[in-house]
A and B are shown apart, each in its own frame.
Chain A
Amino acid sequence: MDKEERSGQISNLSPGDGITLTCITCPVGCELEVTLEGEGEVRVLNNRCPRGVDYAVQETTAPERTFTSTVKLRGSSLERRLPVRLDRVIAKARLLEVAEYVRTLEAQVPVTMGDVLQDDLLKLGANLVASRSVKE
């Protein structure tokens, strides 16, 4: 457990340091053995596909995550909430701030899956889109 706790802390690593990262790119969840070799350069072991290397580089330099939530939906006889997502990954460090902002938003029927509810949310370069259609 101690080792697992530490593996989440990657901010103050210097070249030569090794860490274990769980790749979150797909459900396989490879346990990557990552060694920092320099700025943005890593050596990766235990990855079962090339995406593991991309993930390790990203995660050790500027970690990113997807964001999903729900917003209040007005005008529907059936649904009270509308599921929403950002259409691209954002900096992991901004997630809580984004969540807090999205809690203040509302949507109105009719809405179609993929509709942009707010573009360039908080100037993050990602749009907030509807994850489903609610016609009435």
Chain B
Amino acid sequence: MRVTVIGGGPAGMAAALSAKRAGAEEVLLLERAERLGGVLPQCIHTGFGVSYFKEDLTGPEFAERLERLVAKAGVEVWLNSIALQAFPDRQLLVSTRLGLRALRPDVLIFAVGARERPRGAIAIPGDRPAGVFTAGTAQYMTNIQGLQVGREFFILGSGDIGLIMARRFTLEGLIVHGVAELMPFPGGLSRNVQQCLRDYAIPLYLSHTVTGVRGKQRVEAVTVAPVDPNGYPLRDQERTYAVDSLILSVGLLPEAELLRQAGLTMAPETGGPAVDQYYQCEREGIFAVGNGVAIWDLADNVAETAEVAGRAAVLCPPGRGWARVEGRGGIRVVIPQRWRLEDRDLVLHFRAGKPTIAPRLRVTCKGQLLARRGYAALRPAEMEEIRIPAEKLAMVEAGDLVVLELEEGSGG
């Protein structure tokens, strides 16, 4: 069996590795950059690998560990190789240093990752000077290229990369004036609010947004205002910060172009393709893993779920049908969106739409209860899970709808 994996980040490496270990004769890993690792080499902070390697590693260490395993397992790696076009029949057009290549593997695994939401996607009014960067770009410039991005910063959005960069800038002797978050709760993990902002007394302004950018050549100032409950800025309470850089940490979106070309439809809640519990897409032999499916909290989650897909790509017998899975009533994202019928427990990964204290979650199908679980709290920044026992799933048939929702009257 020939397996081709597109993308050499944590998802692609973990998928290639597990496909090889599961017995695939030929596994080819394509990476467009000059090194494996995806975003990990620029994520120089710790917090990686706690679950996958049982050790607290930096991003580069996590990448190198995986890279060594990939090499040892006998996965073929093509660097500087970009998949230009994908077709629904798994054909692939790849640009390599040796020229164009056409491939048609038995199994195609997309591990294409995500890109950052750019300024255009959030429509900040004002001038268009230099000095506006997405957090990941600033991180690449700082940690890989060794460039100084700016001197005085304001950060819009409280995603994890923005929080991490607030700390990084501060440790480099630069000044971070504050972080504005449109929502009334932080976008990143609580631990990062603590160790990246509070540790350095960097203010976090919840329910605030950037209302304008000023500057001719370079950013000279940004204006920031609180927003009302509908998200409209309260202009009379605007404040001005004299900064030379605005950093955007306003979320990630799966990089979907190739997936669309392959004939897959994107789920509106995730921005990625609908997958089953083995990360197989709606087309047989096409899998999608990692942040190309949905945005996970951690590289560990990405690697672990990709591992499931790599193994299944080789070992899974043809399915006997699928049921749909849907999140409702306070549940924003559910992975998988399709359940391939089988006699095993099913773990659903989900994200709540807003912070909820002491909620009860229920999973039903055709009016029957499949699982119920209480949580101390649900936070939108954190992906949670619920397990449904195999014996409860026995009544679910192909084409049925499984619904995941918060119980009314629970939570607050």
Contacts and interface: CB of A to CB of B under 8 A. Distances in A.
B44 A131 contact: yes
Given A24-B194, A27-B50, A80 B146 contact: yes
A85 B58 contact: yes
Interface in B186-240: 189-191, 193-195, 198-199, 201, 204-206
A96 B171 contact: yes
B44 A27 contact: no
Nearest to B188: A29
Interface stretch (B21-29, B59-67, B334-342): B59-67
Nearest to B37: A132
B45 A4 contact: no
A69 interface: yes
Task: Give the one of B144, B170, B171 with max A CB within 10 A.
Answer: B171
A16 B205 CA distance: 30
A22 B193 CA distance: 9
Nearest to A24: B191
B56 to A, nearest CB: 8
Nearest to B44: A83
A100 B198 CA distance: 20
Identify the 8 closest CB pairs spanning chains A and B, nearest first. Answer: A29-B190, A132-B60, A22-B194, A99-B171, A8-B198, A83-B44, A24-B191, A29-B191
Contacts of B56: 66
Given A7-B198, A8-B201, A27-B298, 10 more contacts: A1-B205, A8-B199, A21-B194, A26-B191, A27-B189, A72-B146, A79-B144, A80-B146, A83-B143, A99-B173
Contact of A85 (B35, B46, B145, B194): B46
A131 B60 contact: yes
Contacts of A70: 44, 142-143, 146
B39 to A, nearest CB: 13
A96 B201 CA distance: 13
B297 interface: yes
A43 interface: no
A83 B173 contact: no
B34 interface: yes
Interface size class of B (residues with CB under 8 A): 35 or more
B173 A132 contact: no
A106 B45 CA distance: 19
A130 to B, nearest CB: 9
A132 B64 contact: yes
A68 B195 contact: no
Given A27-B298, A85-B58, A80 B144 contact: yes
A68 B63 CA distance: 16
A10 to B, nearest CB: 11
Interface in A29-58: 29, 31, 46, 48
A19 to B, nearest CB: 12
A80 B145 contact: yes
A109 interface: no
B269 interface: no
10 contacts: A8-B194, A31-B190, A66-B45, A80-B146, A81-B143, A83-B143, A85-B61, A131-B44, A131-B59, A131-B60
Contacts of B34: 78
Nearest to A112: B64
A132 B63 contact: yes
Contacts of B201: 8
